[in-house]
Amino acid sequence: MDPLTRQRGPAASLVLALLALAGAATVLATGPLAAPPEALIAALFGEGPPEAELALALRGPRLLAAMTCGAALAGAGAGFQILFRNPLASPDLLGVTSGAGFGAALALLLGAGVFLTQSAAFAGGLHAGALAVACAALTRSGDGRLALILCGIVVGALATAGLGVVVIAAEPYSQLPSITWWLLGSFTRATGAEAVLALAPVALGAAILLALGFRLDVLSLGDEQARSLGLRATPLRLLALAAAALMTSAAVAVAGVVGWIGLLAPHAARRVVGERAGALIPASMAVGALFALLIDRLSTAFGPVEIPVGLLSAAVGAPAFLILFVVTSRRA
C-alpha cells in the first residue's frame, strides 16, 4: 500500500472532492418539492421560478449542516486518533458529545427554542471538554494522554447521568419526545443562518488542526519524544484538543448526536492517504462530509418520515467499519 500513497495522495483527494461535489449536487437536486434541474440551476443565480428558489432555500441549509457536521466529526476523530495513537478514539473521547447532548436536553427541558438549544449544546460540549482537560491537568500524571482518556470517560459518564435526570424530569408528552428526537440527530433542523453560524467554529477548529499538521505527528510519538524533538507538548496538545472540541460541539449543536462518522471516516481515509496528519485530517473531513451526505439522502429516502441520522449513521457506519476492518486485516 504505502509505496503508492505518495503518488495516490493528491489524486485521491481530487476524487474525494469530486465525489463530495456530486453528493452535494444530488442533495440539492432531489426532494419532495419537484423542481427540474434547469430551474434549480437558474435559481442558483437568482433567476429561477419561486418553486425552485424555495427548494434551494430549504435544501441548502440541510446540505450545509450535513457537510459541516460530517467534516467536523471526522476531523475531530482523526485528530484524536492521531493524538492518542488509538484507532478507537472518537470525537466523544473527552465527553464532548455527551456534554453537548446534556446541554441541549437541559435547554429543551427549560422550554428553550431551537437556537437556544443549539447554543446550549455548543456550550455544554465545550464545558465538558474543558472539565475533562482540567481534571486531567490536576492528576499531573506522566503521560498526559491516559489521564485525558480517563477524565473524558468520567465527564462523559457524568453528562450521561445528567441527561438521565433531565429525562426523568421531562414532561412525557411533549418534552421527552423532543429531547429524544433531538438526541437522535437530524440535519434538517437547522435554518440557513444556524448552519452558517455552526460553520465558524468548525472552520476555526479545522484551520487549527491543519496548521498543527506535522506537530500532531510529533505529539503522537509521546510527550518525551515531543520534548526531545524541541516541541512543547502540553500547549500544542491543548490547542489540538480545543480545536477538536470546537468542531465536535458545533457538529452536535447543529445536528444532534451523530455517531460513527468520527470513527469510520479517519479509518477509511487512512487506507487511502496514510497516517500523516497533514494528509489524514483533510482526507478524513472529506470522507466525513461524503458519509454525512449519504446518510442525509437515506434519511428521507423511505417516505416522508425522516429516519434520524444518528440511527442511520450507526446502521450504515457499523457494517461499513466491519467491512473496512475485514478488508484491511486480510490485506495486511
Partner 1 sequence: MSGLVLEALVAGRVARGGADFRLPPLDLAARPGEVIALIGPNGAGKTTLLKTVAGLIPPLAGRVSRPGPVAYLPPPGAVSAGFSALHLAALGRAGRRRWSPGLAPEDIEAARAALARLEVADLADRPFDRLSSGQQQLVLIARLFVQDAAVCLLDEPLALLDPAHAQAVEAAIRALAAEGRIVLASSHHLPFAARADRVLAIGPDWIEAAAPAHALSPDRVRALFGVETPGCPCCGQALS
Partner 2 sequence: MRTPPRRSVLLGLGSAAAAGLGPQACAPALRSPAGDAVAAGQPAALLIWAVARERLAAWPRKPDAACLAALPAPAAGLPETGALAGGGGRPASPEVIAALKPRLIIDYGDADSEHRGLAARMRTRLGVEWRLIDGALPRIPDAFREAGRLLGAVDRGANLADAAAEVIERWRQAPPGPAFYYARGADGLETGFRGALATEVLEGAGWTNVAEGSRDIGRVTREQVVAWDPEAIVTLDPAFARAAADDPLWRRRRDGSRRRLLLLPEIPFGWIDRPPSVNRLLGCAWLADPEAAWMALARLSRSLYGLAPGEVPRPRWIP
The Cα 112–Cα 92 span in angstroms is: 25
- Residue type present at position 221: L
Residue 260 binds partner 2 (CB under 8 A): yes
Stretch that binds partner 1, among 55-63, 185-193, 274-282, 288-296 (CB under 8 A): 274-282
Nearest one of 31, 91, 98, 83 to 58, comparing CA atoms: 31
Show contacts of 149-152: CB within 8 Å, 24+ apart.
149/84, 149/86, 149/93, 151/94, 152/92, 152/93, 152/94, 152/95
Among partner 1, partner 2, none, the one that 60 touches (CB under a kind-dependent 5 to 8 A) is none
Q: How far is the CB of 291 from partner 1 (least distance, A)?
A: 22
62, 127, 267, 276: which one contacts partner 1 (CB under 8 A)? 276
Whether residue 163 contacts residue 98, with contact meaning beta carbons closer than 8 Å, is answered with yes
Among partner 1, partner 2, none, the one that 305 touches (CB under a kind-dependent 5 to 8 A) is partner 2
The Cα 79–Cα 238 span in angstroms is: 12
- Residue type present at position 67: M
The number of CA neighbours under 13 Å toward the Cβ of 32 is 9
Stretch that binds partner 1, among 1-9, 39-47, 133-141, 155-163 (CB under 8 A): 1-9
- Residue type present at position 86: N
Binding pattern for the stretch 108-127 against partner 2, x by CB under 8 A and - elsewhere: x--xxxx--x----------
- Residue type present at position 276: R
Residues forming the site for partner 1 (CB under 8 A):
2-3, 5-6, 85, 211, 213-215, 217-218, 220-222, 224-225, 227-231, 270, 274-276, 278
Binding-site ranges for partner 2 (CB under 8 A): 31-33, 51, 54-55, 57-59, 62, 90-92, 97-98, 101, 108, 111-114, 117, 156, 160-161, 163-165, 167-174, 176-178, 180-181, 183-186, 188-189, 256-257, 259-260, 262-263, 300, 303-306, 308, 310-311, 314
